[in-house]
Structure 1
Amino acid sequence: MTIKTGSFLFKALLEMCELHSSKVVRGNVKRANARYLGSCGALEARRASLPLCHATPISIPSRSFINLAAPISTRRMEYTECRTLQYTPEQMYNVVATVAQYQHFVPWCKKSRVMKGRNSNIWAELEIGFPPMVERYTSEVTLIPNHQVRAVCTDGSLFSHLETIWRFGPGAKDQPDSCTVDFYVSFEFKSLLHSQLASVFFDEVVKQMVSAFELRAATLCRNQQEASLRRRST
């Protein structure tokens, strides 16, 4: 559902320009549609903030900040990332697979609920956006316990294509409570306006999304440890 798209554009541009204008002015370079981070190596992981695998920048001729005169076409964008985290594959899988809890920690997710399904396949409805614009879409989520979570948008007015894949594997042998997390997202907006905004803020938004799941795992693990200590002390 879209409410006053014009006012949303003005507000989004105002807020995002103030936050990122210094980066845009210095670089004034339009980023490539596909962002790939390097293959994951053995990283020195920390719970709160971890370094990302480095990407090789791709130079593209300079373009204006928002080029409304550009050809009216949407573009598919992709992002991949790999991290080594100090959590077990089971712990990270449980965070990602619990879709109904996204509304409590995923940026810009206003509501999330499981509509139907169980075990390896569920259908979830998510509501995202910035007031006064809120969009709702449905995803089919395929689960492979402790190994993979794949979500594909099946209905909605915001995306013509949206797919996310999380894969979890064991960490280093000398770190039994660690895991590798491979994240992949591919999406394409139906709206030219959304596509052009996304091309400017794509990397920052996706990185915030990935970090939100890591911080969620840290919070849950801390709560579990505190509850265990309380039980032992009583």
Structure 2
Amino acid sequence: MSEYRESRDVPYTPAQMFDLVADIERYPDFVPGYVRARVIDRRDETLLVDQIVGLMGVHYGFRSVATLGRPERLRVRSSDRPFRHLEIDWRFTPRSSDRAHVELVLRYELRRGMVRRLGGLWLQPMARRILQAFLDRARAVYGPVD
């Protein structure tokens, strides 16, 4: 299984960052590779989500379960194709009254040969851009902070 981990201190609160990450249906507006994301069921703090992502001109659809733990944590899990296993774990920790530490951990294993090779080439660079996409979104939604 491959793993990618990144964290940053940001000039926004944990609740602000959590709200951006939890707004899954907006991902196609700003997250690289996302074509579509739709919440198809919501029960308490658990979302069932259909997503389509683009990989080198090919679209892959999959279903995931997102568990919301506002404002500290958001977890996404899937074993739907093309993934054998997908975990996305976001954690939001306060640093001060107006700052947070954001950690993103992405663990994945793809199912098939060619998809596995192409996905490995695509997922690592995409994962590196995900956190930056959310920081850019925070600036757009909440305004720049000095």
> Alignment partner of 1:90: what SS?
helix
Q: Is the alpha carbon distance of 1:154 and 1:160 closer, same or farther for their aligned partners in structure 2, counting shifts above 3 Å? A: closer
Q: Normalised by the size of structure 1, how large is the TM-score?
A: 0.58
Partner Cα separation in structure 2 for residue 142 and residue 214 of structure 1: 21
- The equivalent residue for 2:92 is 168
* Distance verdict in 2 for CA 1:112–1:87, change over 3 Å: same
Task: State the Cα distance separating 1:119 from its structure 2 match.
Answer: 3.0
Q: 1:198 to 1:133 in 2, by over 3 A?
A: closer
Gaps of 5+ in 2: none
Q: Shift of the alpha carbon at 1:182?
A: 1.1
After TM superposition, list the pairs within 5 Å mapping 1:1-234 onto structure 2: 76-130=1-55, 132-155=57-80, 157-171=81-95, 173=96, 176-222=97-143
**Post-superposition CA distance 1:160-199 (Å, at most 9, x none):** 110100000101x4xx211001111100111222322344
Match of 2:31, SS state, is: coil
Secondary structure of the equivalent of 2:68? strand
Query: Cα distance, 1:129 vs. partner?
Result: 1.1
CA contact (8 A) 2:55 2:119 kept: no
Aligned-partner Cα distance in 1 for 2:65–2:40: 10
Q: Which has the larger radius of gyration?
A: 1
What number of residue pairs does the alignment pair up? 145
Gaps of 5+ in 1: 1-75, 224-234
Structure with greater strand share of residues: 2
RMSD: 2.0
Paired-residue identity, %: 28
Secondary structure of the residue aligned to 2:143 is helix
Supply the distance in 1 between the matched residues of 2:57 and 2:137 (Cα, whole angstroms): 27
Taking structure 1 as reference, are residues 192 and 133 closer, same or farther at Cα in structure 2, changes over 3 Å only? same
